[in-house]
Amino acid sequence: MKIKVLGCYGGEMFIYKTSGYLTTYKTSALLINDNLIIDAGSIATSIDITEQERITNILLSHSHFDHIKGLPFLADNLWGEVARSIEIMGIKETLDSVKNNILNDSIWPDITKILSTSEPIYRLVELKGGEGLCR
């Protein structure tokens, strides 16, 4: 299993240290085996567009902003570039929060309904207790 930490902080900042190194703090996101994202805080700003195009699934642990804020920007980056939906997986409460508070046609377009190519860019998949990720 290959794990790439894209971010693991509750906020984002860049600090230039007197040693000459730039320290970057980014919000929560892990890339697993090049195609699964666990939490999407810094997904659109931590990997290049080629890596973003490989993503097929996003698993959200919960709906705090630092875990979901990259979702609209990833969709914008990939709009018209991928011919399949990316599955966003989570429990009902998390998916409802994303749908009602972000992808609501007020804060951001509801990109679970608008076709990117032949499909919407995101498809929400509810996970229930006791279910695995593999179906």
* Domain ranges for the chain: 3-126
d(CA 20, CA 5): 23
Task: Give residue 85's pLDDT.
Answer: 94
Cβ atoms within 10 Å of 32's Cβ, excluding its own = 14
pLDDT at 77: 94
pLDDT of residue 15: 78
Determine contact, residues 28/7, Cβ cutoff 8 Å: yes
Low-confidence ranges of the chain (pLDDT < 70): 19-22, 130-135
Cα 63 to the center of its chain, rounded Å: 11
Give per-residue burial for 95-107: e unless 16+ CB within 10 Å, then b.
bebbbeebbeeee
* Token pair recorded at residue 34: 């090049």
Task: Record the pTM.
Answer: 0.87
The CATH superfamily assigned to 3-126 is: Ribonuclease Z/Hydroxyacylglutathione hydrolase-like (3.60.15.10)
